[in-house]
Structure 1
Amino acid sequence: MAGERFKVVALVAAVMCLCNADRVVMSVAVVPLAAKHGWSSSFLGIVQSSFLWGYMCSSVIGGALVDKYGGKRVIAWGAALWSLATLLTPWAANHSTASLLAVRAFFGLAEGVALPSMNNLLSRWFPTNERATAVGISMGGFQLGNVVGLVLTPLAMSSIGISGPFILFTFFGFLWLMTWINRVANDPQESNSISKAELRLIQAGKSDSHVIKSKLPSLALLFSKLPTWAIVFANITNNWGYFVLLSWMPVYFKTVFGVNLKQAAWFSAVPWGTMAISGYAAGAASDYLIKSGYSTTSARKIMQSIGFIGPGIALLCLNYAKTPSIAAVFITMALSLSSFSQAGFLLNMQDIAPQYAGFLHGISNSAGTLAAIISTIGTGFFVQWLGSFQAFLTLTACLYFATTIFWNLLVPLLGYGSAWYSNFFVEGNVPATLGHHFWSLLCDFRMFRLMLTSQMDKEIKRLAEI
């Protein structure tokens, strides 16, 4: 990867880093803000979740904007607006709680366009055989943003005050924006800097022409298929656990172990750094399994099981941590292993419905964002009512385990592949009535029951032969 492609992916990774770092600023700054304004633990959860209110609304809309105006323009406007919201956050906190919640919701609304813009730009700028690497670099920047935010925020607060990190990251945002506008084109064909050889390489390596353009299915139709529910529940569980740790980690270390804010930020930063690395390892391991002869279904099943069972066990162990160092080890395990889901349910959307992967991702991500709102607020109420994090950590671990069972039971259905799933949606095969949707869902459940019965019969025969 070289030339203009390297410039594009480097700047995309940088803005993804800023995107996540700007979120994390509030996770650290909320501790002194709560002390200053006398906020309760339950209200802390509401403040932390307010970002997600706007984010949930723009997760699907962002894709439509990107399709119409292009990733370069949309991500530029998004970065400008979320940087402005970052700058206004300390002022809003001093003005009123309503102002703070409104600014944080607007911040989330602006950040909701980041991932769709990233996907749009990388699909334009990279040939098919380089896109996985480009996405890996960009998402590595995204996870690195947690580390940057957690490390720099307490340093800026100790030097300038509570408003320090908000000013600092606003400056970074507008600095990136000036570089982005002048250095990157929306499409390689529009670039004045790209060489003819690189342009030919990009165009020759694209295989998008084979994707069938078709009308999006109705929601009733989409939710009449069990694989849709499996992906939605996996996204719900993934976001539930992810945002609990993202929003509450610094508060957890300060509350449970009494460490100061700088130490809490450092203990919180290490797990996110390892998550960026383990995400690459998960992708490489998944590719290795498939190349070694494992089916795609088996590879997804293994990766997703690690991605949910691992964090569940780690969170249960976290309840018994006696020192902040031991707690950091368990949180590192939880986040590192959760990144294996990137090679599980996230990739499975492309496996079963490539024509509607974006639409399916938007819907499942909206459900996941709603779950993140509930978990972020719920943590605050649990801590306030019960006086500890243990109950909510146990609940989250149980959710990981339950979803793992649900996912693995449906993996054979998911494994039928795009031909099975997508054929149902092609024009002429779409059921016209709500009754047909219910019939489709019933057929899926019957298929699911027959599948389980077949497995039980095989096991009974095997035991009888022993």
Structure 2
Amino acid sequence: MERYGGSDTEGDNTPLLHRGHEDKVTRDFQCVVTEPVRAPACCSSRYGLALLSSLGFFVVYSLRVNLSVAMVDMLNNTHQSSTNHSSSVCPAHANPARPKHNHTARVYDWDSETQGWILGSFFYGYILTQIPGGYLSGRYGPKWLLGFGILVSVVFTLLTPVAADLGASYLIAVRVLEGVGEGVTFPSMYNMWAAWAPPLERSRLLTITYIGAQLGTVVALPLSGEICFYLDWTYVFYIFGAVGLVWFVLWSFLVFDSPNTHPRISEQERLYITNSLKNELSTSASHIPWRAIVSSRALWAIVVAHFSYNWTFYTLLTLLPTYMNDVLGFSIQQNGLLSALPYVGCAVFAVLSGQLADYLRETCLYRTATVRKSFSVVGMIGPAVFLVAVGYTGCNYTLAVTFLTISSALGGISASGFNINHLDIAPSYAGILLGITNTFGTIPGMVGPVIARALTKQNTIDEWQTVFYIAAAINLFGAAFYTLFGRGTVQPWAVHASYSHGD
């Protein structure tokens, strides 16, 4: 890594509001920035927001991934066995007897192509509300847009069993509408943190928030398997939907759009947050520099990285339970637990990377751009290498699960790379930027499962190797592009309004 102090025409070597450098003059705008007095983290409103938003993303991802496990149990196994050469490529594991009462739910004769469309349908709705979510949450406030977005997703999750009984097309429609609701969540949350996160606490606060997504995956996958085993697949959607309703009540009463509108925040914390951000946020909420945004190389670097990383992430998210069942021969009960293991590692590495990234920027004086690029490279190339390795483990169950776990764990490091970079380059428009990048990042979720299932009709190991190679190649390209064009400082177009009066 390159330490702070070298020349850089982009100004990336200037840590924002660095502690210990009072009255620091930034080169980009010759503006004096005095360090605000830090407010304690313990029992603070900003860390309370981080925990509650983490629970929100726990709900979001549990609703998103539960179908991946339930799908295994929703299919007519007799029909599946007749359409494939065997129930799995590798010898099946010894499975405990399932309780007889869990066979009350209907099963369906969906072929692999239909399964791919069902698993990918969520993202067709998800992509529609990314940019509108960023714009509307910035204009009207993120709290209620995010809250109602998740509530919509919860309602359609509860309707999933009814839709499945009506037919695959109805289930696809319900999943699309569920995606429409969830599409506003990430852009809204970025706008929330643009008003709440002091610059040198961004990595910590955002990784706490987004670890909820990993934990939602970690809990939902094995728990869905257990629910299918002891009850039936319909309860997967009822139970997680109920958790979502509880979260919405908590969010409604405990969260506020900004420190200035929070009735219970301490004055010290309010001043700490607002003073930290006063030289980064645009004073004009009505003017959005669309031309500068869409032509920004810093933004397109994030777009490419986001798209590339998500190809691998969504491939595993939607198809890992299928791979565990059709290739490795794990039962529904074993499937959920083993499918969750990779995301345990991802959650741990995401939190650790957030702490390390802020430490390197604040204490060791590494440039923001250097930190973001380094974490992105490790978090994208590492997963690519181990994902390819999975295809060569054959029926070595231990090695396959180990490599999948390492691949996803290393992916967690990118949480402190390109994932947070929106707030570095344009905090005022972070929600809009996230909407743009997540729009492109959603495309892999739409087409990835369809392409993967089209390539794995016979569920052979060779077919799955092709799927893994494609994902790894896209990841490598994204890492290289972001390394070349990524930036770490607030871009001039993002703060122009703040310095338009004689500065």
* Range into which the TM-score falls when normalised by the shorter chain: 0.7 to 0.9
Deviation at 1:206? 4.2
Aligned to 2:416: 343
Aligned to 1:308: 380
Match of 1:154 among 221, 225, 239: 225
- State how far apart, in whole Å, the 2-side matches of 1:183 and 1:121 are: 14
- State how far apart, in whole Å, the 2-side matches of 1:18 and 1:244 are: 20
Deviation at 1:127? 4.6
Q: Residue 204 of structure 2 contacts residue 351 of structure 2 at CA under 8 Å; is this kept in 1? A: no
Deviations 1:262-318 (A, max 9, x none): 111111111111111101222333344444354433333322221221011101110
Structure 2's unaligned 5+ residue stretches are 1-40, 77-106
Q: Residue 126 of structure 2 contacts residue 442 of structure 2 at CA under 8 Å; is this kept in 1? A: yes
Deviations 1:122-168 (A, max 9, x none): 44455555444322211111210001111211222223311111110
Distance 1:97 1:406, change over 3 A: same
Secondary structure of 2:288's match?
Answer: coil
Deviation at 1:44? 1.2
- State how far apart, in whole Å, the 1-side matches of 2:270 and 2:373 are: 38
Match of 2:439 among 358, 366, 374: 366
Deviation at 1:89? 0.8
Deviation at 1:223? 5.0
- State how far apart, in whole Å, the 1-side matches of 2:437 and 2:275 are: 33
Match of 2:251 among 159, 174, 180: 180
Question: What is the CA RMSD across the aligned residues, in angstroms?
Answer: 2.9
Within the alignment, does 1:24 sit opposite 2:65 as a pair?
A: yes
Deviation at 1:109? 0.6
Q: Residue 76 of structure 1 contacts residue 181 of structure 1 at CA under 8 Å; is this kept in 2? A: yes
Match of 2:468 among 393, 401, 420: 393
Match of 1:113 among 180, 184, 202: 184
Deviation at 1:355? 5.1
Q: Which residues in structure 2 correspond to 1:372-387 (within 5 Å)?
A: 372-384=445-457, 387=460
Match of 2:371 among 274, 280, 299: 299
- State how far apart, in whole Å, the 2-side matches of 1:32 and 1:416 are: 46
Distance 1:333 1:367, change over 3 A: same
Q: Residue 236 of structure 1 contacts residue 372 of structure 1 at CA under 8 Å; is this kept in 2? A: no
Secondary structure of 2:75's match?
Answer: helix
- State how far apart, in whole Å, the 1-side matches of 2:111 and 2:445 are: 20
- State how far apart, in whole Å, the 2-side matches of 1:202 and 1:231 are: 26
Percent of matched pairs sharing the same residue: 29
Deviations 1:92-147 (A, max 9, x none): 01101221111000001111122233233344455555444322211111210001
Within the alignment, does 1:257 sit opposite 2:328 as a pair?
A: yes
Distance 1:300 1:12, change over 3 A: closer
Aligned to 1:97: 168
Secondary structure of 1:297's match?
Answer: helix
Structure 1's unaligned 5+ residue stretches are 429-466
Q: Which moved more, 1:113-122 or 1:416-425?
A: 416-425
Distance 1:234 1:282, change over 3 A: same
The one-letter code of the counterpart of 1:37 is Y
- State how far apart, in whole Å, the 2-side matches of 1:65 and 1:317 are: 43
- State how far apart, in whole Å, the 2-side matches of 1:156 and 1:27 are: 13
Distance 1:349 1:172, change over 3 A: closer
Q: Which moved more, 1:359-368 or 1:11-20?
A: 359-368
TM-score (normalised: structure 2): 0.76
The one-letter code of the counterpart of 2:183 is G
Match of 2:353 among 262, 282, 285: 282
- State how far apart, in whole Å, the 2-side matches of 1:417 and 1:174 are: 39
Deviation at 1:55? 0.6
Q: Which moved more, 1:239-248 or 1:278-287?
A: 278-287
Secondary structure of 1:302's match?
Answer: helix
Q: Which moved more, 1:239-248 or 1:194-203?
A: 194-203
The one-letter code of the counterpart of 1:314 is F
Deviations 1:176-234 (A, max 9, x none): 22233233344444444445555455545543665354843446x65555444432221
Within the alignment, does 1:407 sit opposite 2:477 as a pair?
A: no
The one-letter code of the counterpart of 1:405 is A
- State how far apart, in whole Å, the 2-side matches of 1:166 and 1:427 are: 51
TM-score (normalised: structure 1): 0.82
Aligned to 2:50: 9
Match of 1:50 among 104, 114, 121: 121
Deviation at 1:323? 2.5
The one-letter code of the counterpart of 2:323 is Y
Structure with greater contact order relative to length (CA < 8 Å, sep ≥ 6): 2
Q: Which moved more, 1:363-372 or 1:348-357?
A: 348-357
Distance 1:45 1:77, change over 3 A: same
Deviation at 1:351? 4.2
Q: Which moved more, 1:177-186 or 1:370-379?
A: 177-186
Q: Residue 387 of structure 2 contacts residue 407 of structure 2 at CA under 8 Å; is this kept in 1? A: yes
Q: Which moved more, 1:260-269 or 1:288-297?
A: 288-297
Deviation at 1:28? 0.4
Q: Residue 421 of structure 2 contacts residue 488 of structure 2 at CA under 8 Å; is this kept in 1? A: no
The one-letter code of the counterpart of 1:330 is F
Distance 1:87 1:40, change over 3 A: same
Deviation at 1:347? 3.5
The one-letter code of the counterpart of 1:370 is I
Distance 1:126 1:304, change over 3 A: closer
Aligned to 1:442: none
- State how far apart, in whole Å, the 2-side matches of 1:198 and 1:232 are: 34
Q: Residue 211 of structure 2 contacts residue 347 of structure 2 at CA under 8 Å; is this kept in 1? A: yes
Q: Residue 68 of structure 2 contacts residue 318 of structure 2 at CA under 8 Å; is this kept in 1? A: yes
The one-letter code of the counterpart of 2:374 is I
Distance 1:298 1:353, change over 3 A: same
Distance 1:263 1:174, change over 3 A: same
Aligned to 2:406: 333
- State how far apart, in whole Å, the 1-side matches of 2:67 and 2:492 are: 45
Distance 1:360 1:11, change over 3 A: closer
Deviation at 1:242? 0.7
Deviations 1:329-368 (A, max 9, x none): 1111111112222233234444445554443332221111
Deviation at 1:241? 0.8
